[in-house]
Amino acid sequence: MIREPGGRAQYVDSCKTKGKPVRILLIEDHARLAGFIRKGLKAAQFDVDLAAKGSDALEDFECVRYDVVILDLGLPDIDGLELLNQLRAKDKAIPVLILTSRVQLADKIGGLNAGADDYLTKPFAMEELIARLHALLRRPYATLGKTLRAGNIELDVVAREAHLEGCDRPLPFSRRELSVLEQLMRRGGKVAPKHLMEQSLYGAGEDLSSNSVEVLVHRVRKKLTDSGANATIHTVRGIGYLMTTDEE
């Protein structure tokens, strides 16, 4: 989609390029951030249309079939969650990743619960956004939701609670330990690079010492073992951490 200032949107068929690029609708009103995200996504071979307003996004959504939507919650003309409802009314299955500041997240947790497939808090690492988009696109639509699963562990990413399958009592993780667990689970059996885990924890406004991730992983590992979880965290020396389940 090319949008001339003040002009009508013009559809450009990206399928003319080789293969079928994944089409992303990026809804973000902060021009510099939007430009940065678009550049990063294009470098990762995604096809990106940018909408700076909710009304533009709805118009784009009418004429292009997108594979995934990235949605900023703070938009100039419409509340991001209201826009999410409207997009969902048009396409129930479209994966939506919300970009939000932590303050907004606290305010909107009920709404996120209702309709987003994933969220990322600002600031974030481009590499993490890309990893999450790939994860969203890999998941069959039927399993999209707010719960991550690995072995017998279930993590509700909105309620910020982890528990074992069939057991209502939450596992005794601190907020930062849950963040570490979430990153390992999101990787779905692939290595979570330590530097990305650090960035994500720093992004949450945490003050970390250099071995914080190691300490957190150690605690998470112990709590999983003590609780009878059937997942194991392996250290991949010099790179990061990997979670595997007994089923693998």
Q: Is 29 in the site for Ca ion (CB under 5 A)?
A: yes
Q: Is 145 in the site for Ca ion (CB under 5 A)?
A: no
Of 56, 72, 154, 177, the residue at the interface with Ca ion (CB under 5 A) is 72
Residue 92, both tokens: 């129930």
For residue 56, which of 78, 37, 38 has the smallest C-alpha distance?
A: 78
Q: Tell me the residue ranges of DSSP E strands in the chain.
A: 2-3, 9-10, 23-27, 47-51, 68-72, 96-100, 118-121, 147-150, 153-156, 161-164, 192-193, 231-236, 240-245
Q: Which stretch binds Ca ion (CB under 5 A): 1-9, 28-36, 190-198, 227-235?
A: 28-36
Biggest CA-to-CA distance, the chain: 61
Minimal CB distance to Ca ion: which residue?
A: 74
Q: How far is the CB of 119 from Ca ion (least distance, A)?
A: 14
- Rounded alpha-carbon distances, angstroms, from residue 144 to 98, 116, 132, 137: 14, 9, 13, 10
Q: Which stretch binds Ca ion (CB under 5 A): 67-75, 97-105, 146-154, 198-206?
A: 67-75
Instruction: Count the residues of the shown chain that bind Ca ion, applying the rule CB under 5 A.
Output: 3
Residue 116, both tokens: 């987003």
**SS3 state at 21:** coil
Of 9, 55, 59, 74, the residue at the interface with Ca ion (CB under 5 A) is 74
Q: Is 56 in the site for Ca ion (CB under 5 A)?
A: no
Q: How far is the CB of 80 from Ca ion (least distance, A)?
A: 8
Q: How far is the CB of 64 from Ca ion (least distance, A)?
A: 22
| Residues of this chain that bind Ca ion (CB under 5 A) | 29, 72, 74
